[in-house]
Amino acid sequence: MDEDRLYGTARNLGGKVEEGVGRTTGDVKTQLQGKLDQAAGAAQDLYGQTADAARDTAANLDKWLRATIETQPYTTAIVALGIGWLLGRMHRPL
């Protein structure tokens, strides 16, 4: 779990408490600050979720690529040669 998710959730909960205190005391400024903290916490939590998803996807891609290279070395070599040839042709006209 990403630290941004933890901090975002904590900030969101703190904002809810702050908004509740502002609502109880009738302080509009405290209510607004609580809502702003909630929005910032939700954004930070969303960023953390996105970072976690990206990390998981990269790990899964790495596992898949390693398994493919180990089980199909000749196919992997042919694909690598094809990509190299295409990259080499990018600077020259066909």
Give residue-wise pLDDT tens across range 19-61.
999 999 998 999 999 999 999 999 999 999 999 999 999 999 9
Q: Is 50 domain-assigned?
A: yes
- How much is the pTM? 0.66
What pLDDT does residue 91 have?
79
Find the domain containing 10 and state its range: 3-89
> Is residue 94 assigned to a domain?
no
Q: Does any domain span residue 51?
A: yes
| Burial class of residue 42 in the structure, from the number of CB atoms within 10 Å of its CB (0-12 exposed, 13-18 middle, 19+ buried) | middle
Q: Does a structural domain hold residue 36? A: yes
Query: What is the pLDDT, as a whole number, of residue 90?
Result: 87
Q: How many domains does the chain have?
A: 1
Tell whether 78 is covered by a domain: yes
Phi/psi of residue 91, nearest 5 degrees:
-95, -5
